[in-house]
Amino acid sequence: MRAVLLGTAAGGGCPQWNCACEVCAGGAPARNQDGVAVSANGTDWYLVNTSPDIRHQILGTPELAAGPGPRETPVRGVLLTDAELDHTLGLMMLREGAGLRVWAPGAVLGALGEGFPVRGILGGYSGWEWSEVVPGAVRDVGGLRVSAFAVGDKRPKYARSLPAQTPGPWVVAYRFEDPVTGGVFVYAPCLAGWPPGFDAFTAGAGYVLLDGTFHTAREFGGATGAAGTTAPQAAMGHLPVEGEGGSLEHVRRLRSTTHRDTRWAYTHLNNTNPMADPHSATHLAVIAAGAEIPADGTRIDL
């Protein structure tokens, strides 16, 4: 199994076009909005989330190049972790792709039918298939065993007016298992917390890519000076990396006990997060704690 990190930044990318915070103005390496491509055989590829940067990401990834026929592509389908715009707007950029299949939680499929009616819009271009992801169920996707785990119920802003009975979860993580090599890759770019059972979901994984949106609990308001942003970042649907109960605390615990062979890494870095700057003390401290902060284009073989 191979995974390619197409982007590693949160919504808006880094630097963000309307931001002059210390990270954006300080010359940190550019990062595209997050997404991953995975493949069991190096020929058939599946996108996990599709950001507005997806065209640039595909064209910049040789494994995803079109061909050999004039309208052939190795992209076979898409898995969505949630319904946020930074993970779904790229579907519109893929409208020329006939026969693509999209997997997503039921709540996400509902939002893409009503709040952001991309399913109806794309239906006018090509015959896509839309399939519900049920947490706990295992399905074959291109030769990989894929399962989902519920990690949050945060709705996108555009979906807040949808009926309250819309079933969750709204956010999932994915576990990809290669039955040939035994490799396991877990992708969790959005974590509202560290839910019960997540230790077991990541057990035996060779590589776990975690939500690295915010380094600390009140980072966003402090970095931007924006009013009304003093609530803990976990309330925004993102568990901070550092601090009491932060994800790095769990990484340290698992590295010393049950997950000794697992590589832990962070993606979905917000533009305000000093971890995005490889020269910052914050970045170096996270690396010293045993986690990785990979750049766009990183390739993982398992």
Q: Indicate which CATH number applies to the domain containing 290.
A: 3.60.15.10
Structural domain total, the chain: 1
Q: For each of the chain's 302 residues, which pLDDT tens digit applies?
A: 999 999 999 999 999 999 999 999 998 999 999 999 999 999 999 999 999 999 999 999 999 999 999 999 999 999 999 999 999 999 999 999 988 999 999 999 999 999 999 999 999 998 899 999 999 999 999 999 999 999 999 999 999 988 877 778 999 999 999 999 999 999 999 999 999 999 999 999 999 999 999 999 888 655 555 544 445 555 578 999 999 999 999 999 999 999 999 999 999 999 999 999 999 999 999 999 999 999 999 999 99
DSSP per residue, the chain: -EEEEEE-B-TT-BS-TT--SHHHHTTPPPBPBPEEEEESSSSSEEEE---TTHHHHHHT-GGG---SSTT--SEEEEE-S---HHHHTHHHHTTT-TT-EEEEEHHHHHHTTTTS-HHHHHHTT---EEEEE-TT-EEEETTEEEEEEEEE-PPPGGGTTS-TT--S-SEEEEEEE-TTT--EEEEES--SS--TTHHHHHTT-SEEEEE-S-SSTTHHHHHH--TT--S-GGGGT---SSSTT-HHHHHHHHHTTT-TT-EEEEE-B-TT-GGGSTTSHHHHHHHHTTEE-PPTT-EEE-
Query: 14 is in which domain, residue-wise?
Result: 2-301
CA 294/CA 35 separation, integer angstroms: 13
CA 21/CA 17 separation, integer angstroms: 11
Report the predicted TM-score, pTM, of the whole model to 2 decimal places: 0.95
Instruction: Name all contacts of 127-131 with Cβ < 8 Å and 24+ positions apart.
Output: 127/98, 127/99, 128/99, 128/100, 128/101, 128/102, 129/99, 129/100, 129/101, 129/102, 130/101, 130/102, 130/104, 131/101, 131/102, 131/103, 131/104
CB of 197 closer than 8 Å to CB of 216: no
